[in-house]
Amino acid sequence: MVLAAGLGTRMRPLTEGRPKPLLPLGGRSLLDHALDRLEAAGVERVVVNAHWFADQIAAALAARGDPCILLQREDERPLETGGGVRRALPHLGGGPFAVVNGDAFWLDGPTSALRRLAAAFDPAAMDALLLLVRTTQVEGEVGRGDFLMDPFGKLRRPREREVAPYLFGGVQILSPGLFRNTPADEPFSLNLVYDKALAAGRLYGLVHDGVWFHLSRPRDLAQAEEALRTGFERKAF
């Protein structure tokens, strides 16, 4: 699934007339980049949700001409990240599935990040596997970070006054069981199911081995464009 229903408020004024996933970078929209990576990883069916300028998302998907990409319109109100995935579950195959933020942009390392996640996902031990990025490799504001990780890849959130060394990179594999007993057709964040997985000791992370771009504000997009234009890549450790 590709999450493309957000309002993109931090990216204004660029998003006053279009949704954030349709902003261009490197000659293609962020949404096309995400769909290209899913296709390259062998994903055969994708659900894309839309709310802000949903007609533009629909037109962009139609232009790709791929009947295996399904549009999920959330016209009345956005269902947020968790609610959008919850509604899409009937189309996501019944087993673990990938979810990509529509504004996520990354360059793969030696192996596709999506293929690495798929290979590392262990349904016996995990309900969620998140792609993580080291905060030291991120240009821009990272706050206190998102997660800490033990040597086995198990995650926890930072405690009060604790700084976490990893950010969530907007790419993940989730188990449909995480959405059991979540509200149907109601907005909620994926943080709700992350907390459920955390409580059960089943939230894991995988560190990205390529390049990841923090795209929150217009200046971030301009910096990423310049980096791609000049061939600059932040070193991956």
| Structural contact between residues 31 and 5, judged by C-beta atoms closer than 8 angstroms | no
DSSP letter at 128?
E
Q: How far apart are CA 157 and CA 203, in angstroms?
A: 10
Average pLDDT, the chain: 92
pLDDT tens digits for range 47-71: 999 999 999 999 999 999 888 999 9
Summarize the confidence of residues 38-51 as an average pLDDT.
94
* pLDDT band with cut points at 50, 70 and 90 for residue 223: confident
Residue 178: per-residue pLDDT = 96
Report yes or no: 57 and 75 within 8 Å, Cβ to Cβ.
no
**C-alpha–C-alpha distance, residues 18 and 173, integer Å:** 28
Structural domain boundaries in the chain: 2-230
Please give the pLDDT value at position 143: 73
- Among the residues of 41-188, which ranges form H helices? 54-64, 80-88, 113-120
Alpha helix stretches (DSSP H) within the chain: 30-40, 54-64, 80-88, 113-120, 191-199, 218-230
Query: For 105-164, how does the pLDDT look when each residue is reduced to its tens digit (9 = 90+)?
Result: 999 999 999 999 999 999 999 999 999 999 888 776 667 889 999 999 999 999 988 999
Multiple choice CATH, 2-230, 3.90.1150.10, 3.40.50.10800, 1.10.3720.10, 3.90.550.10? 3.90.550.10
The whole-number pLDDT of residue 236 equals 42
